[in-house]
Amino acid sequence: RVKPFNRLQVILQHLKMSKQTDSTAEVLLEKRGGAGVITLNRPKALNALTFSMIQQIYPQIKTWEEDPETFLIIIKGTGEKAFCAGGDIKAIADAGKVGSRVTEDFFRIEYSLNNAIGTCKKPYVALIDGITMGGGVGVSVHGHFRVATEKTIFAMPETAIGLFPDVGGGYFLPRLSGKMGYFLALTGFRLKGRDVLKAGIATHFVDCEKLPALEKDLIALKSPSTENIADLLNSYHVKSKVDQEKQFVLGEHMEKINSIFSANTVEEIVKKLKQDGSPFAIKQLETLNKMSPTSLKITLRQLREGASMSLQDVFRMEYRLSQACMKGHDFYEGVRAVLIDKDQSPRWRPAALEEVSDEFVDNCFKPLGNNDLKL
């Protein structure tokens, strides 16, 4: 067996980093002007990240980071619908069912990639046009700049498939204003368009039709600093008038969200929603009732702990949680109900919040010894 800390090197060694630019490649990695450009190229699959895509992007970012001729990194998706709808969850579930090592390696290299983006020395610009969920958030939110458009749809919907908002969700979600991140994490609520900026997830908002021009201008910059890039993004941002007058979708509910989602337990959140009884509260209650009780409990603790952790410690914690979910029942059941049979009727085990013991949740957070994530 390969020693755990060598696994990543071994995985990457097997990869001949071909500069793929043919249109059939799942990901295109190109040097254009002073920019390294990553294009997620699975439009039919909403640019969902496969193991092989992550294996190619990770070493390329590391290479560009050290290259004196590369001044910034841009990531975008092809097609009209999505930047990236997440990781290839179905493939992971299939691997887990047959006890494949992919369930260990996928999360290991995915979180290593997310961390490489979060610590990248070069300015990193994500053009999050269209659906940006789960793994798509992981390859964008930790970078310096996230440019949303009127077509952006952001969500972390993992509690609906027996997972938790990973890819560093434990870091960025509790750092959003008030308890907004806790609300987004537990309910999987979708933010659209300018609301992604107002929530503090995007840094800029640009009209979708202006993205090709913006990209061209970014590529044309001559040895730019982070400030130069920010100035260029700002110049596009201030010109955008789409939905400028619209109020933030969660604005009128923030007081309620802050008071209800500051509860210490999921049971308490549910109780407070029931007591509140407003149409908004009832709707959130209905949503939470559909989610995996195990996922909800893991998620609340993940965010409460992640709020005071470093990004690297969050990834280590999330890696432990990912492996606990791979050994459990709800992830496979969630994938079946949502992605395979599509009956939207998962049978969670346990089925009720009070049946998920604190001891069980504690175990999910326990160190994995030699198998812990090394960053």
Q: What is the pLDDT of residues 157-207, one digit of tens each?
A: 999 999 999 999 999 999 999 999 999 999 999 999 999 999 999 999 999
Dump the DSSP string for 19-83: ---STTSSEEEEEETTEEEEEE--GGGTTPBPHHHHHHHHHHHHHHHH-TT--EEEEEE-SSSEE
Note the pLDDT tens digit of each residue in 141-158: 999 999 999 999 999 999
Q: Is 359 among the residues known to form the active site?
A: no
Establish if 17 belongs to a structural domain: no
Query: Residue 20's pLDDT is what?
Result: 46
* Candidate list 36, 77, 86, 87, residue with the active-site label: 87
Determine the pLDDT at residue 80: 95
Instruction: Please check whether residue 349 lies inside any domain of the structure.
Output: yes
- Report the share of the chain in percent with pLDDT over 90: 93
CA torsion sign for 109, 115, 116, 118 is: positive
Tell whether 58 is covered by a domain: yes
DSSP letter at 307 equals T
pLDDT at 4 over 60: no
Is residue 183, in this structure, part of any structural domain at all? yes
Residue 61 scores a pLDDT above 50: yes
Q: Is 86 a catalytic residue?
A: no
Decide if pLDDT at 1 tops 90.
no
Is residue 6 in a domain? no
Catalytic residue, candidates 105, 129, 158, 330 = 158
Mean pLDDT score, 353-374: 98
Q: What CATH number should be reported for the domain holding residue 81?
A: 3.90.226.10
Residue 20 inside a domain? The answer is no
Q: What 8-state DSSP symbol labels residue 190? A: P
For residue 40, tell me if it sits in a domain: yes
Catalytic, out of 166, 195, 215, 318: 166
pLDDT confidence of residue 17:
42
Tell the residue number behind the tokens 């009727």, with chain if given.
Answer: 345
Whether 113 shows a pLDDT value over 50: the answer reads: yes
The model carries a pTM of 0.93
Asked about 158 being catalytic, the answer comes back as yes
Q: Does 221 have pLDDT greater than 90? A: yes
Predicted confidence band of residue 215 (pLDDT cuts 50, 70, 90)? very high
Query: Is 12 contained in some domain?
Result: no
Nearest to 359 by CA among 294, 306, 296, 307: 294
Of the candidates 118, 135, 188, 193, the residue annotated as catalytic is 135
- The whole-chain average pLDDT of the chain stands at 95
In the sheet where 35-40 sits, what is the strand order? 27-32, 35-40, 72-77, 124-128, 145-148, 204-205
pLDDT given at position 19: 45
Residue pLDDT, tens place only, 319-334: 999 999 999 999 999 9
Using a pLDDT cut of 70, give the percent of the chain over it: 94
Give the confidence band of 23 by pLDDT, cuts at 50, 70, 90.
low
- 28 has which bridge partners? 39
Average pLDDT over residues 356-367: 98
Query: DSSP labels for 112-177?
Result: HHHHHHHT-SS-EEEEE-SEEETHHHHTTTTSSEEEE-TT-EEE--GGGGT----TTHHHHSTTSS
Give catalytic status of residue 369 as yes or no.
no
Has residue 230 got a pLDDT over 50? yes
pLDDT at residue 24, rounded to an integer: 85
The confidence band for 5, taking pLDDT boundaries of 50, 70 and 90, is: low
Q: Do 320 and 374 touch, CB atoms closer than 8 A? A: no
pLDDT digit string, tens, across residues 75-101: 999 999 999 999 999 999 999 999 999
Q: What is the pLDDT of residue 16?
A: 42
Q: Looking at the chain, how many residues does it have? A: 375
CA dihedral sign of residues 292, 294, 299, 304: positive
Q: How many domains would you assign to the chain?
A: 1
**Containing structural domain, residue 284:** 25-371
